[in-house]
């Protein structure tokens, strides 16, 4: 009897071609290079910087095409209003929980107690420099800065909120054209595929970026930078993990999916952030995977870029923990009322921080400038480890914005829970490309 033909199976890619494993190996190699050959490690910094610039180059057009096409083809502007209100309410509630959690843990963990640092012995120029950057942007300046100087200036600067504003206005204008706007929408759809294709090419060199970034970090600061401040780092990483598994885990379970499955689904983006210390490098891949889960273009295009300014959970945890740590390390007493004031100030100063490395440090300076009892010069204590802390901040921000998008899509009944769970169990690498692109 003839043998029946076996069903064709998708060939499994060898491990060395899997993106997140490549990035992980590169991170380990970068740490080794920076430790053994610190000067050579520092010379590899352009690899990481160049990759971040390449990704930032493509973020603005991807967001523009996604948001304009999604909103203009939706035809229901009341839905957009609902998404906006739900997003801002969700962001404020979850961000406040992150701030409170950081405040509680640092008071229980007490990582700065016993340091007995004399602020007069620290370099005041370090704190003053970051304070100047923080004070340069007031609340009014931040709101006015959302409006670009010109239509194309939003793309030149790469400011996500400016790009979002321009995109929404363009979408409304195209929608008002009715049938005459359809050729423009088709052109935007083709443009979107082109820009995602460029992103797929860029992301293939992510392992080199991770190698360069980690080599520079360890080579410039050395593992000894982790020594005395290890307690703060451990506390921060544990708190961020508690927030992701506990808070976001409960939110995800309520929305009908597993936080662990979701983390596995975006593992390539997480390792990319780990290597570059910037959550913006993973933004295009995250948006693509969220759309693959069933989230609409308009929801993804609005929630993700808005969340990068209003829903930075990792940055919020860091700010309250770092501020109280500095008070503990310099023996600065903080009453309950002062800590509540610190919390309220952080709720405002955290808005508008981007996912770029160092933004969390600047917003921390803005918070300290509003609570003058903590010496600004104490910021010098954190300079050596901020790069290591920024990786955890960025990863937490990435996961938080991904969960927020799925949850809001579930509120809008865009995503079927059974299909969502099925897709999360069959993740694909972003380098494979979306359907029809390969």
For the stretch 217-252, pLDDT in tens is 778 766 655 555 678 888 999 999 999 999 999 999
Report d(CA 166, CA 174) in Å as an integer.
12
E-assigned strands of 186-329? none
Do 320 and 343 touch, CB atoms closer than 8 A? yes
Predicted local distance difference test score (pLDDT) of residue 399:
95
pLDDT at 329 > cutoff 50: yes
Q: For the CA atoms of 12, 13, 15, 16, what is the dihedral angle to 10 degrees? A: 170
Express as a percent the part of the chain with pLDDT over 90: 15
Check whether 261 has a pLDDT greater than 80.
yes
Res 135 pLDDT > 70? no
Cβ-based neighbour number of residue 222 at 10 Å: 15
> How much is the mean pLDDT over the chain?
78
Backbone φ/ψ region at 77: left (φ over 0), alpha (ψ -120 to 50), beta: alpha
Instruction: Check residue 351 and give its pLDDT.
Output: 62
pLDDT at 60: 82
In this prediction, residue 144 carries a pLDDT of 77
Q: Does domain 15-432 have CATH number 1.10.3860.10?
A: yes
Tokens matching residue 401: 């914005």
**Total-model pTM:** 0.74
The answer to whether the beta carbons of residues 355 and 278 sit under 8 Å apart is: yes
Q: What would the pLDDT profile of 158-181 be if each residue is shown by its tens digit?
A: 777 788 888 888 888 888 888 888
More confident of the two residues 20 and 224: 20
Is 332 in a helix, a strand, or coil? coil
Written as one string, the DSSP assignment of 199-235 is: HHHHHTTHHHHHHHHHHHHHHHH-GGGGSTTHHHHHH
Residue (of 294, 292, 266) closest to 394 by Cα position: 266
What is the Cβ-side half-sphere exposure of residue 96, based on CA atoms within 13 angstroms? 8
Q: How confident is the model at residue 8 (pLDDT cuts 50, 70, 90)?
A: very low
Average pLDDT for 207-221 = 79
Q: Which of 401, 158, 196 is nearest to 279 (CA)?
A: 401
Can you give the residue ranges of every domain in the chain?
Answer: 15-432
80-116 burial, b at 16+ Cβ within 10 Å, e below that, comes to beebeebbeebbeebbbbbbebbbebbeebebbeebe
Q: Range with the lowest mean pLDDT among 95-104, 286-295, 305-314? A: 305-314
């Amino acid at each position: 009897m003839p043998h029946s033909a076996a069903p064709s199976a998708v060939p499994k890619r060898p491990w060395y071609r899997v993106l997140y494993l490549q990035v992980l190996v590169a991170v380990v190699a970068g740490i080794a290079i920076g430790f053994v050959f610190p000067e050579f490690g520092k010379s590899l910094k352009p690899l990481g910087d160049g990759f971040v610039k390449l990704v930032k180059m493509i973020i603005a057009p991807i967001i523009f095409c996604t948001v304009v096409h999604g909103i203009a083809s939706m035809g229901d502007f009341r839905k957009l209003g609902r998404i906006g209100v739900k997003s801002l309410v969700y962001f404020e509630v979850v961000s406040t929980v992150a701030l409170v959690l950081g405040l509680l843990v640092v008071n229980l963990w007490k990582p700065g107690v016993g340091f007995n640092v004399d602020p007069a012995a620290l370099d005041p120029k370090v704190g003053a420099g970051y304070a100047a950057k923080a004070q340069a942007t007031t609340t009014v300046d931040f709101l006015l800065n959302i409006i670009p100087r010109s239509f194309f200036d939003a793309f030149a600067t790469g400011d996500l909120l400016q790009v979002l504003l321009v995109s929404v206005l363009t979408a409304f204008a195209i929608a008002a054209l009715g049938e005459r706007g359809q050729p423009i929408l088709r052109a935007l759809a083709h443009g979107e595929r082109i820009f995602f294709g460029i992103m797929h090419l860029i992301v293939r060199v992510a392992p080199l970026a991770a190698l360069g970034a980690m080599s520079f970090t360890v080579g410039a600061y050395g593992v000894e930078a982790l020594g005395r401040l290890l307690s703060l780092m451990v506390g921060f990483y544990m708190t961020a993990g508690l927030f992701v598994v506990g808070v976001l885990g409960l939110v995800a379970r309520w929305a009908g999916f597993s936080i662990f499955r979701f983390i596995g689904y975006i593992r390539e983006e997480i390792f990319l952030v780990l290597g570059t210390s910037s959550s913006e490098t993973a933004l295009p891949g995250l948006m693509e995977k969220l759309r693959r889960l069933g989230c609409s273009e308009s929801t993804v295009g609005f929630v993700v870029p808005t969340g990068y300014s209003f829903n930075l959970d990792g940055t919020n945890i860091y700010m309250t923990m770092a501020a109280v740590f500095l008070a503990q390390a310099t023996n600065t007493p903080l009453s309950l009322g002062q800590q509540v004031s610190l919390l309220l100030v952080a709720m405002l100063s955290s808005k508008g921080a981007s996912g770029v490395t160092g933004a969390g440090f600047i917003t921390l300076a803005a918070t300290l400038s509003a609570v003058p009892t903590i010496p600004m010069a104490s910021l010098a204590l954190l300079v050596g480890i901020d790069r290591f802390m920024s990786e955890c901040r960025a990863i937490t921000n990435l996961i938080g914005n991904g969960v927020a998008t799925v949850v809001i899509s579930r509120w809008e009944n865009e995503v079927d829970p059974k299909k969502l769970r099925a897709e999360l169990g069959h993740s694909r690498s972003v380098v494979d490309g979306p359907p029809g692109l390969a």
